[in-house]
A and B are shown apart, each in its own frame.
Chain A
Amino acid sequence: MIGADAKAAGSDLNGTGAPNAGFDNPVLQSQAMYRKLLGAMAQPGRILSCELSLDVPAPLWPTTAAAALTLLDFDTPLWLNPGAAAAPALGNYLRFHSGCPLVEATGNAAFAIISDPAELPPLDSFAAGTDEYPDRSATLLIQVERLDDSRGVILRGPGIECKQTLQAKGLPQGFWQQVQENHAGFPRGVDMIFCAQNQIAALPRSTQVEV
């Protein structure tokens, strides 16, 4: 359980007053969350459960918030989808706990939080890095209603022993074609982490997708 005692901190739904509490043990909770993120990125499409009890501002989910608290700081310009950017408590929360600057242009973001996959911009609008420095590329945290690895598209590539299926609910039309194009640009490309209510799964650029 990551962040078990955070519920007591109380929530701030109207965006006034103090931001919602972050991790109550930032050192160990961010370590635990990082191992989930690393495991997800190392095994694309594999769903990992994250038992979190974090009090987070809407429209963030605890998984997304925990990933953000773990990875973001003043070195990581962050882009928010319009729905998330319109929630003052969310911007307040991220600025307070991570100090990350918010950016307007997708191309300037090291990270992006997409709280509603319907508002996901084209993947190629984000930084894909260069051939010499493909690591200078964006990581997208995409909230999805549900993840299912018993069906869906077929994934192959590094981190996958044979093949892996994955379905994520609510992704926009044409998303998987964009993922194929993203993979075709390897080593350039963006990397994605899907955050469901209590689960995460990742999709790095190295993964081939068969729709």
Chain B
Amino acid sequence: MTQAAQQAAIPDEQAEIDAGAGPDPNYNFAYLDEQTKRMIRRAMLKAVAIPGYQVPFASREMPMPYGWGTGGVQVTASIIGPDDVLKVIDQGADDTTNAVSIRQFFERTTDVETTTRTEDASIIQTRHRIPEKALSEDQILVYQVPIPEPLRFLEPRESETRKMHALGEYGLMHVKLYEDIATHGHIATTYAYPVKVNGHYIMDPSPTPKFDNPKMHRMPALQLFGAGREKRIYAIPPHTAVYSLDFEDHPFDVQQWEQPCEICGATDTFLDEVVTDDRGGRMFVCSDTDHCTRDQEAAE
């Protein structure tokens, strides 16, 4: 792939995307070449067979910067087909720059149908949230992961973290969480809260809020995780046990808010605090915009 071709593939927000006209003939379907897709597909099969284990893969340059979800994009590009319906969210919202850019990328390179409705999507690519609506066996959730190694901040050497995973030496991780309790009186980690998958590997759920951790447990949908810069793919098959680490005297719990969503009134969703004016006005609203919009419609 020449640099010129890569630059040409950057989705142009000004470009008219002609729905139904077929994928852009200048690129292979879903952008990646077939050899790369096969390599990623093989890595994903191993990831599914070894739940929570990080499979190395030869991550490719994508026509977007790292940090924009190149790992998730490569995973989606390797599974997506013409019959799929794609939803892309960033912090729960379909209309943020990152989500719009990735959605346009796939509209252009695959011409698949896209949606904002969680239940209509066959593939949901996400950064930082799991949709509020329960997912089904017919859906695949693809996470964009910046740092896949949950032990990295304890041990910078890859050879050592590999050994720790191999031997199940997770004492340091428990010590770290316990230090939180000693310092704060509770576990202060609220994002990327570590989980144990199928009673074996400790895994980073990506920077989702710990509010979403319970949704991963026995989720009927297949969960695939792609880290582009770090070149790792991992997976949680459907119905797999996913436990958030905790202690007997300090059990895992999720964030709660004192007020309901100020738009839809939901009391069971993850809320974002948004600034409403330049005089410091603020309100709490659902981070999952599709869920919030729909709740509002249902209430009317």
Residues of A within 8 A of B (CB): 26-28, 30-32, 34-35, 37-39, 41-43, 70-73, 75-76, 130-135, 137, 139, 157-161, 186-187, 191, 204-206
Let me know if B198 and A42 touch, CB within 8 A: no
Let me know if A187 and B48 touch, CB within 8 A: no
Let me know if A70 and B38 touch, CB within 8 A: yes
Let me know if A132 and B41 touch, CB within 8 A: no
Let me know if B41 and A206 touch, CB within 8 A: no
Let me know if B239 and A37 touch, CB within 8 A: no
The contact of A73 among B35, B47, B80, by CB within 8 Å, is: B35
Give complex CA distance A14, B183 in Å.
76
Let me know if A30 and B45 touch, CB within 8 A: no
Give complex CA distance A195, B201 in Å.
30
Let me know if A139 and B45 touch, CB within 8 A: yes
Give complex CA distance A161, B219 in Å.
10
Question: Which residues from A are CB-within-8-Å of B46?
Answer: 134-135, 137, 139, 191
In the assembled complex, B214 has its CB within 8 A of some CB on chain A = no
Let me know if A27 and B238 touch, CB within 8 A: no
Let me know if A187 and B53 touch, CB within 8 A: yes
Question: Which residues from A are CB-within-8-Å of B182?
Answer: none
Binary contact track B12-44/A, C-beta < 8 Å → 1, others 0: 000000000000000011000011011101111
Residue of B nearest to A205 (CB): B49
Question: Which residues from B are CB-within-8-Å of A43?
Answer: 137, 237-238
Q: How far is the CB of A52 from chain B (nearest CB, A)?
A: 16
Question: Which residues from B are CB-within-8-Å of A37?
Answer: 41, 45
Let me know if B45 and A26 touch, CB within 8 A: no
A131 with B53: in contact, given A137-B46, A158-B240 (CB under 8 Å)?
A: no
Question: Which residues from A are CB-within-8-Å of B241?
Answer: 158
Residue of A nearest to B78 (CB): A34
Let me know if B166 and A131 touch, CB within 8 A: yes
In the assembled complex, B271 has its CB within 8 A of some CB on chain A = no
Binary contact track B52-79/A, C-beta < 8 Å → 1, others 0: 0101100000000000000000000011
Let me know if B239 and A158 touch, CB within 8 A: yes
Residue of A nearest to B161 (CB): A132
Question: Which residues from A are CB-within-8-Å of B37?
Answer: 30-31
Let me know if B51 and A158 touch, CB within 8 A: yes
Let me know if A71 and B42 touch, CB within 8 A: yes
Let me know if B237 and A76 touch, CB within 8 A: no
In the assembled complex, B222 has its CB within 8 A of some CB on chain A = yes
Question: Which residues from A are CB-within-8-Å of B43?
Answer: 135
The contact of B238 among A30, A73, A76, A159, by CB within 8 Å, is: A159
Q: Which of B80, B166, B167 has most chain A Cβ within 10 Å?
A: B166
Question: Which residues from A are CB-within-8-Å of B42?
Answer: 71, 76, 139
Q: How far is the CB of A185 from chain B (nearest CB, A)?
A: 12
Residue of A nearest to B41 (CB): A34
A35 with B49: in contact, given A26-B34, A43-B237, A159-B239 (CB under 8 Å)?
A: no
Let me know if B50 and A135 touch, CB within 8 A: yes
Let me know if B50 and A75 touch, CB within 8 A: no
Let me know if B28 and A27 touch, CB within 8 A: yes
Let me know if B44 and A38 touch, CB within 8 A: yes
A73 with B38: in contact, given A42-B222, A161-B238, A186-B200 (CB under 8 Å)?
A: yes
A205 with B81: in contact, given A28-B29, A34-B41 (CB under 8 Å)?
A: no
The contact of B166 among A76, A132, A204, by CB within 8 Å, is: A132
Let me know if B48 and A41 touch, CB within 8 A: yes
10 smallest beta-carbon distances between A and B, as pairs:
A204-B49, A131-B166, A159-B237, A135-B46, A158-B240, A158-B237, A132-B162, A191-B49, A161-B239, A31-B81
Q: Which of B37, B48, B237, B238 has most chain A Cβ within 10 Å?
A: B48
Give complex CA distance A9, B80 in Å.
28
Question: Which residues from A are CB-within-8-Å of B200?
Answer: 186-187
